[in-house]
Structure 1
Amino acid sequence: MKRTYRTTVLTVGALIAALGLPAGAAQADTMPRIDLRVLVVSDGGPSTDAIAAELAAAGTPYTRIDLTQAGRTVIDADFLADTVDGRPRAKFQAVVLPNDNPFPAGSAEMAALTAYERTYDVPQVDAYTYARPEAGLQYPLYGGHSGSIDGKRAEVTAAGKAGPFGYLDGAVPFEDNDPAVGESYAYLSKPLAGADFTPYVEAAIPGQTTKGTLVGEYRHDGRRELVVTFVYNQYQQQFRLLARGIVEWMTGGVHLGASRNYFSVHVDDVFAADDRWNSQLNCTPGDVDCEDPAATPDPIRMTAADVDHAIDWQNSRKFTLDFAYNGAGSADHREDHNGADPLADRLIARRGEFRWINHTYSHPFLGCVQDTTVVPWKCATNADGSTRWMSRNDISDEIATNRVWGERAGLPLVNDELVTGEHSGMKVLPQQPEDNPNLALALGDNRITWLGSDNSREPAQRRVGPATTVPRYPMNVFYNAGRAAEQVDEYNWIYTSRAQGGSGICEDNPATTTCLPAPLNPATGYAEHIVPLETRIALGHVLANDPKPHFIHQSNLAEDRIAYPVLNGVLDGYAALFAEDTPVVNPRMKDIGVELRRRADWQAALRAGQVTAHRIGNTVTVDAPNGLAVPATLPTGATLAGAAFGQAYAGAVSGWTPSTGTPLTLTLPASAAPPATDAEAGPAPATGTAPRTRVPAGVTDPVGHTSDG
């Protein structure tokens, strides 16, 4: 879909006059240089911080000024613009303010911003402002609404779909995660009579059949503002849905950085079996911390029918699962069943339907030697008190033997990927505060480049010998549950108080976010509570430009197949929100690792001030260190050295391109040039400071789960 952005800009002649340049200088070399950087002026509130977080996640450069800090930078003409090589330079391509005017009446800073925006056609985002005539809207008391919109549904207008929010299917639902806590507050109002105002997102005004504006574009006095009249934080779904469009509007679809909506799911322990939760013992027989003498392991293992179901599900969803496999699981099963293993036979026959990851041959603990005579376990020690570690040879054998088993089975492997059992070998607090020193050596022996890690323990990538970690999100669908009733029973045990028969973890650690006020109903708790909660958490990651994979276990695809309701919830929820040109991206682990590493390198270069980029007319120039991969988002039709740039996504093209140390030159399509108007802007009217807006507790202190799940 081709998208256009309605703008009001100065003609070249008007711009030259405004800059005081000679009238005869209306040539290409007098066109201003616009640096590809955003100015974020924050009052410490959640809305400006949310936009800053979106820019940071995408890798879009920005400068933040905190109005609450003493000694901060003063915004004046010299701060905003200067001249480079005889050419006027605008240092920022967009301005984000807390509201339409956060400064005192008569402020020189607001006057400087106003003049700057008019001169260089730089747009302004009002992150959260009161609906008032200065923002192109009627006061809410004139037939509008001021109050909570928790749980309400907003809609993208036709203009929004044709413009910056065209990647959405239409609905913008507002969360209501806790009825006892206010999470959203809005000023719903109608455009002021005679104002040049285009609503992009609207919601029904309570008690009326008409709609009020939540997001819209106000054009006045040679300036453009994106007016947002509801409050949000960076984790709320309604912001996550609109964040891309806010950035695309303010940058005109031309900016450094890129974002996608990612979802990948790893299924661990394939071919093996997972021990079952025991509801009488409140532990898992077979686990090192379940020492009851009556504990007898009760394994859960997929069947051939479960494989067929997984394939049918993948085909219907156009989605591929990653199977992390343990070859010993099949070898042991054949030994115990006279050579028969229908599960392995079906998986191997249909091996091309899935992606495969080495998960070690027998799934041992690869860290310290565990002393299980105590609960919780501890690291065994040598006579001199030093830690006893699994040896380099034993770790290497587990990796290599599983690789050979997979190759003999014809599995389509990528041999530099590895997920160790329980992410072992790496540090595990509190018992093992450091990596097994033999792990890095064994990874080198087997040329492992990408190593799965647990995001709940280590959310950042790091090096382990020759390998780089790929943090994975654990889904709260338990490895030791094949049936919904087992999942609920264990969930109740973990997340209820001791007085209610639970573990008391929430009493010991009040920061735990999944605590229950009362036990869930064993018959309905999974479908009514756990599935919606886990769906919301995972979908939040998808909407946050977060490529990290999620992981479950093969037991969750067996018996009651309890993983599918959550996976369906994520994919169905996504499909209901996004247009077809914005699909879920489903990469394998290696590609996720590359993406995370490129982002880290890019962010380091931005922090070091090693990257500059600017636009002159329809040419974008980027200076970056040699070898650094540069991300950019541009209008469809953009080219790099004469070749098409990037990949199509969300109505634009975006991607990474390596720098050679010389400036990268990208050419925008002719359609990217903003239309000019013959009318020169008149003087901007004086406006007072925007009224104070209401921010409910559920925004300053986010309700439910953050992006860490």
Structure 2
Amino acid sequence: MKRTIRTTALLVGTLMATIGLPAATARADDPAPRVDLRVLVVSDGGPSTEAIAAELENAGTPYTEVDLADTGRDVIDPGFLADTVDGRPRAKYQAVVLPNDNPFPTGSAEMAALVAYEQKYSIPQVDAYTYARPQVGLNAAVGTGYAGSVDGVRAEVTQAGRAGPFGYLEGAVPFEDNSPTVGESYAYLSTPVAGADFVPYVQAAIPGRPTMGSLVGEYRHDGRRELVVTFVYNRYQQQYRLLARGIVEWMTGGVHLGADRNYFAVHVDDVFAADDRWDSALNCTPGDVDCQPGEGTPNPIRMVPADVDHATTWQNSREFTLDFAYNASGTVDHREDNGGQDSLADKLVAERDQFRWINHTYTHGFLGCVQNTAVVPWTCARNADGSTRWVSRNEIADEIATNEAWGESAGLPLQSSELVTGEHSGLKVTPQQPEDNPNLGPALADTGIEWLGSDNSRDPVQRKVGTATTVSRYPMNVFYNAGRAAEQVDEYNWIYTARAQGGSGICEDNPATSTCLAAPLDTATGYTEHIVPLETRIALTHVLTNDPKPHFIHQSNLAEDRIAYPVLDGVLGAYDALYTDDTPVVNLRMKDIGVEMQRRALWRAALDADQVTAYRIGDRVTVRTPVGVALTATMPTGTQHDGTGFGAAYAGSLSGWASADGLPYTLDLPASAGAPAAAVEPGGTPAPTSAAPRTDVPAGVEQQVPYGAER
């Protein structure tokens, strides 16, 4: 999606958008220009321009990056910015992102070219992070405002911001403060210069003063529009994640390739079965492979009917659906041991339509190599010739088919194309099994599996396995072998503390582990005070980054103390407090997540190969894509294709996928989709403003302050 320019070339692989032609530059006989929906990102290597580029990349919005530190880069001149195609003037970029309001030396011809280009084609400019000063419509922060840390500050979207590009937010923009010892954000808070056409969109209180200072605002001057951002950020920080969508919508006028939604799905594994329990004395899990054979007494955790009632009540209150990955042998074996009775299974089957169901194999057996569990850690068993001994194709197929047959007989609303194997087994797992079981792919073909769950912590990239395509899942750090909060904390302490503190020493062996503890947590309070907020923030980060991958927990976490719910409530509660009702969490089932990821991969490949062409002239957008590649775009409400509405409503816009079938795909925009007229009509090309002064970037922005590992 990114193109780094080294030679001036025709811009192919873009959706082109006319942002509007200023009246002062247009004549009645001039053809309307076409303006490419490619964004020009001029980077100085700082975190803020990198963050905007990452947002464009992730959404599937084409952009060209010019690295100012690259001595071989192209010069930004009139020919670089615009040309003529088929007798029609073409602006090659619909928006310009600069590190600040002017990253070039004073009097720069490149800045002069950008100014003239923005005036002529009404191209908006984003100042990714700039100093508050009169050149951007703000009073200097020193003396009348504030320059300093804004860690932990609660900023607010203004009324103009809610009516404009940030209308998807409820109002609050909380700034992170993950470490009391590391600066994580820095801002220049100031008020607009008297008489300047400056509209604050996001602001915060100026310390020690009764006034608010702008953090994000629009400045109109000399026939140009600038989005002036006066705080620094990186791509991961929550404050930026909240505002990223609005920054892109502002710069593109709401007409662009790509889409950004907030996704959250939660898979609950091992339903009907029981999960082994952590032993706080042995620091392992009797009955599982981390304990020495025969060590300890298994004490399994299994849901009861009241836990099902709680799950359905919770779902209804949150308007959220859980995905239950089930192992039918869990109830078959339970009935055999209990005179044919299983009140949990009876309750789950009676409430089956409340949940989505996924085949998790019949016995939850390990489907990779045959495990040698006589040693800890386990190893792969070997044949006489030294080769790996694999679970057979027939055994794998039987695990899949038997579980599906039981689910169908119980009336579970299944998707037969979905599968999650026990422990994601069959897929590679290091260090013991560095390759997939070669029998897995054929068994998936035998049973019609198209979507196969994988563990994102070890297999994050979507790939083909036989007939199936993987769907990576984020493991939540709510342990499968804990039904009680105290058990969770005890195991957490053992994993993440030093050997001298009675821990495993994993953090001593791998200092990069970001969930390490300086001291053990209190088993009575550590779950609520430390683990829940931490896991909430980690999961919420995934939700806010346009990431459809599901998370997974286990049925044990819905039983006993029901320790999963505080984390899930934390994620959904925090989300609801931040976003408006027209920007809901998108809760997809596994196959739909797989399709989304697959479409994105095809779209990205087509963009990178310059196989997509699109443009806007007036109120019509025309797009061409290769056969078999669906296009993704975001358009204003009221946009139509052949008289039918495009996409689906989300965050005040329309977005979605559409098939062009290799032919031109046209979109008719509503009349309101034109960009606002410039506040001041240009009177020739003014001299570019002076180079922007150096801004402060704290250590916690240059290198993210972790609050937990990416999972």
TM-score by length of 1: 0.96
How far apart are the structure 2 equivalents of 1:294 and 1:88?
78
What is the Cα deviation at residue 208 of structure 1? 1.8
User: How far did 1:354 drift?
Assistant: 0.2
Tell me which amino acid in the other structure corresponds to 1:168.
L
2:642 matched residue in structure 1: 641
Report the equivalent of 1:421. Answer: 422
C-alpha separation in 2, matches of 1:76 and 1:609: 23
Deviations 1:495-531 (A, max 9, x none): 0011111000001001111001111011100000000
CA distance in 2, matches of 1:255, 1:198: 24
- Checking the alignment, whether the CA contact within 8 Å between 1:8 and 1:223 is kept in structure 2 is no
- Summarize the Cα distance change of 1:267–1:448 in structure 2 as closer, same or farther, 3 Å threshold: same
The answer to whether the 8 Å contact 2:117/2:123 transfers is yes
Is the counterpart of residue 394 in structure 1 residue 398 in structure 2? no
1:252 alignment counterpart: 253
1:434-466 C-alpha deviation (Å, 9 max, x unpaired): 000000010000000000000000111000000
Q: Distance in 1 between matches of 2:159 and 2:472?
A: 40
In the TM superposition, what is the alpha-carbon distance from 1:676 to its structure 2 partner? 4.0
CA contact (8 A) 2:475 2:553 kept: yes
Q: Find out whether 1:482 has 2:492 as its counterpart.
A: no
For 1:402, the aligned partner's letter is N
Query: What are the superposed Cα offsets for residues 147-203 of structure 1, whole Å, 9 maximum, x if unpaired?
Result: 000001000000000000000000000000111111010000111111100000000
What do the CA deviations read for 1:665-684 (whole angstroms, capped 9, x no partner)?
11100111234469631243
Kindly provide the CA deviation profile for residues 269-322 of structure 1, in whole angstroms up to 9, marking residues without a partner as x: 000000000000000001112016441111000000000000000000000000
Counterparts of 1:604 and 1:433 in 2: how far apart (Å)? 28
Deviation at 1:371, TM superposition (A): 1.0
How many Å separate the matches in 2 of 1:688 and 1:11?
Answer: 25
CA–CA distance in structure 2, aligned partners of residues 669 and 707 of structure 1: 44
Cα distance between partner residues in 2 of 1:15 and 1:405: 71
In 2, Cα distance between equivalents of 1:586 and 1:428: 29
Query: Structure 1 residues 506, 71: closer, same or farther in 2, change over 3 A?
Result: same
Mapping of residues 520-531 of structure 1, within 5 Å:
520-531=521-532
Aligned to 2:693: 691
Q: Which residue of 1 aligns with 2:516?
A: 515
User: Which residue does the alignment assign to 1:708?
Assistant: 710
Uncovered stretches (5+) of structure 2, i.e. residues with no partner = 1-17
2:624 aligned with 1:623? yes
Counterpart residue number, 2:284? 283
Q: Quick one: which amino acid aligns to residue 389 of structure 1? A: W
Q: 2:599 aligned with 1:589, yes or no?
A: no
Q: Give runs of aligned pairs for residues 275-314 of structure 1, distance below 5 A.
A: 275-291=276-292, 293-314=294-315
Return the alpha-carbon distance in structure 1 between the equivalents of residues 261 and 65 of structure 2: 24
* Distance across 2 between alignment mates of 1:11 and 1:604: 36
Equivalent in the alignment of 2:157: 156
1:672 lines up with 2:673 in the alignment: yes
- 1:25 pairs with 2:36: no
Q: Which residue of 2 aligns with 1:172?
A: 173
Distance in 2 (alpha carbons) for counterparts of 1:649 and 1:119: 32
Deviation at 1:613, TM superposition (A): 1.8
Cα gap change, 1:24/1:185 in structure 2, threshold over 3 Å: closer, same or farther? Answer: closer
Residue type at the aligned position of 1:31: A
Structure 1: which 4+ aligned runs deviate by more than 6 Å? none
In 2, are the aligned partners of 1:9 and 1:222 still within 8 Å (CA)? no
Q: Which residue of 2 aligns with 1:214?
A: 215
Q: Aligned AA for 1:176? A: D
Tell me if structure 2 keeps the 8 A contact 1:540–1:707.
no
8 A Cα contact 1:541 1:707, kept in partner: no
Q: Which amino acid aligns with 2:686?
A: A
Does the alignment pair 1:15 with 2:25? yes
CA distance in 2, matches of 1:585, 1:24: 46
- The whole-number CA distance in structure 2 between the counterparts of 1:191 and 1:643 is 44
C-alpha distance in 1 between matches for 2:602 and 2:404 = 31
Q: 2:536 matched to 1:532?
A: no
**Matched residue type, 2:696:** R
- Aligned mates of 2:571, 2:672 — CA distance in 1: 36
Deviation at 1:659, TM superposition (A): 1.7
CA separation of 1:411 and 1:8: change in aligned 2, threshold 3 A: closer
User: Does the residue aligned with 2:597 lie in a helix, a strand or coil?
Assistant: helix
8 A contact 1:8–1:219 mirrored in 2: no
Residue 277 of structure 1: SS of its match in structure 2?
coil
TM-aligned CA distance change 1:452 to 1:505, over 3 Å:
same
The verdict on how the C-alpha distance between 1:237 and 1:678 changes in structure 2, with shifts beyond 3 A counting, is closer
Relative to 1, partners in 2 of residues 1:679 and 1:293: Cα closer, same or farther, differing over 3 Å?
Answer: closer
Question: For the aligned residues, what is the CA RMSD?
Answer: 1.3
- How far, CA to CA, are the matches of 2:219 and 2:464 in structure 1? 49
Equivalent AA in structure 2 for residue 15 of structure 1: T
Aligned to 2:7: none
Shift of 1:603: 0.5
Structure 1 678/284 Cα, relative in aligned 2: closer, same or farther at 3 Å?
A: closer
Partner Cα distance (1:54, 1:655) in 2 = 17
CA distance in 2, matches of 1:386, 1:15: 75
1:42 aligns with 2:52: no
AA paired with 1:673? G
- Alignment match, 1:650: 651
59 and 407 in structure 1: CA distance in 2 versus 1, 3 angstrom threshold: same
Paired position in structure 2 for 1:121? 122
Aligned residue identity for 1:361? Y
Pair 104,444 (structure 1): closer, same or farther in 2 beyond 3 Å: same
Bigger drift between 203-212 and 591-600 goes to 203-212
**In the TM superposition, what is the alpha-carbon distance from 1:614 to its structure 2 partner?**
1.5
Aligned equivalent of 2:56: 55
Q: Percent identity?
A: 73
1:540-575 Cα offsets, whole Å, 9 max, x none, are: 000001000000000000000000000000000000
Shift of 1:209: 2.0
Cα distance in structure 2, aligned partners of 1:688 and 1:513? 43
Native 8 Å contact 2:176 2:239 kept in 1: yes
Summarize deviations over 1:333-368 as a string: whole Å, max 9, x none: 111111110000000001000000000000000000
Rounded to whole Å, the distance in 2 between the matches of 1:61 and 1:249 is: 16
Counterpart position of 1:317 = 318
Contact 2:220/2:678 (8 A) holds in 1: no
- Residues 251 and 382 of structure 1, relative CA distance in 2, 3 Å threshold: same
Find the aligned partners of 1:432 and 1:24 in 2 and give their Cα distance.
71
Contact 2:498 2:508 in 1 (8 A): yes
Partner of 2:471: 470
Q: Partner letter of residue 569 of structure 1?
A: G
Answer yes or no: is the 8 Å Cα contact 1:102–1:690 preserved in 2: yes
Cα shift readout 1:49-81 (whole Å, capped 9, x = no counterpart): 000000011100000111112211211111100
Alignment of 1:214-613 (within 5 A): 214-291=215-292, 293-613=294-614
Per-residue deviation, 1:8: 11
The 2-side partners of 1:141 and 1:699 are apart by 22
TM-score normalised to structure 2 length: 0.96
Match of 1:4 in 2: none
Q: Is contact 2:19–2:674 with CA below 8 Å preserved after alignment?
A: no
Describe the shift of the 1:24–1:583 C-alpha distance in structure 2 as closer, same or farther (beyond 3 A): closer
Structure 1 residue 15: Cα displacement: 2.2
CA shift at 1:687, angstroms?
1.5
CA–CA separation in structure 2 for the residues paired with 1:499 and 1:677: 66
SS in 2 for 1:437: coil
- Give the distance between the partners of 1:687 and 1:674, measured in 2 at CA: 24
Whole-angstrom CA distance in 2 between matches of 1:304 and 1:75: 67
Deviations 1:361-417 (A, max 9, x none): 000000000111222111111001111000000000000000001011110110000
Q: Which residue of 2 aligns with 1:3?
A: none
Amino acid corresponding to residue 397 of structure 1 in structure 2: D
